[in-house]
């Protein structure tokens, strides 16, 4: 007799995952090919952006692996594919970023999905992007000793004046 706490065989889990991914594709209008186009176009914009481009340039030496990882991330976030196993929060905590950077990231992402996606897919991607930005901003603020209240945004303190 199987109890509610037993783990079923992996074939059953794989079938459920595949069905969930297919449902997500149908509900959102997003598939792996669209994710590929969005990630490539978005990061092309990021690399040339005056505000957030330098932050990426200081940390990403080889864009190929980074883009592959971002495609897995978005597949997992939007399609529930489970192909991304990373932890984005620790990577963002030490970055010199605040609300301005998250707003710019969202604006570039909005421009990208508006240009490349059908409305339903753009809405699904933007919904997740907003949640991700909010979560990361809260984490960055907390890592910098700032506890944000509802509706508050994180503004990094200016660097100390050195008189130089």
Read off the pLDDT of residues 137-147 as tens digits, 9 standing for 90 and up: 999 999 999 99
Higher pLDDT, 80 or 69: 69
- Over residues 83-101, the mean pLDDT reads 95
115 has a pLDDT exceeding 90: yes
CA 55/CA 1 separation, integer angstroms? 55
CB atoms under 10 Å from CB of 80, counted, come to 13
Using the predicted structure, report yes or no on whether residue 7 has a pLDDT greater than 60. no
Q: Residue 12's pLDDT is what?
A: 79
Q: Which of these, 112, 111, 90, lies nearest to 39 by C-alpha position?
A: 112
Segment 68-95 shows an average pLDDT of 95
Sign of CA dihedral 35, 40, 45, 48: positive
In angstroms, the CA 113 to CA 1 distance is 49
pLDDT of residue 128: 97
pLDDT at 9: 64
The chain-wide mean pLDDT, for the chain, equals 92
Question: pTM value?
Answer: 0.87
Ramachandran class of 139: left when φ > 0, alpha when ψ lies in -120 to 50, beta otherwise? alpha
pLDDT of residue 164: 64
Mean pLDDT of the 31-53 span: 98
Residue 159 has pLDDT above 70, yes or no: yes
DSSP letter at 117? S
Cα distances (angstroms) measured from residue 55 to each of 3, 46, 50, 76: 50, 10, 10, 25
3-class DSSP state of 52: coil
């Amino acid at each position: 007799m199987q109890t509610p706490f037993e783990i079923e065989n992996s074939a059953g889990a794989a079938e459920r995952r595949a069905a969930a991914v297919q449902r997500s594709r149908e509900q959102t209008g997003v598939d792996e090919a669209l994710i590929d186009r969005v990630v490539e176009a978005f990061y092309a914009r990021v690399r040339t952006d005056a505000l957030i481009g330098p932050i990426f340039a200081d940390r990403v030496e080889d864009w190929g692996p980074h883009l592959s990882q971002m495609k897995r991330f978005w597949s997992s976030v939007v399609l529930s594919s489970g192909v991304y196993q990373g932890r984005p929060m620790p990577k963002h905590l030490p970055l010199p970023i605040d609300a301005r950077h998250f707003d710019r990231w969202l604006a570039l992402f909005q421009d990208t999905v508006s240009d490349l996606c059908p409305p339903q897919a753009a809405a699904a991607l933007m919904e997740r992007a907003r949640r991700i930005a909010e979560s990361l901003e809260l984490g960055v603020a907390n890592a910098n000793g700032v506890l944000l209240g509802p509706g508050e945004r994180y503004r990094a303190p200016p660097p100390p004046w050195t008189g130089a």
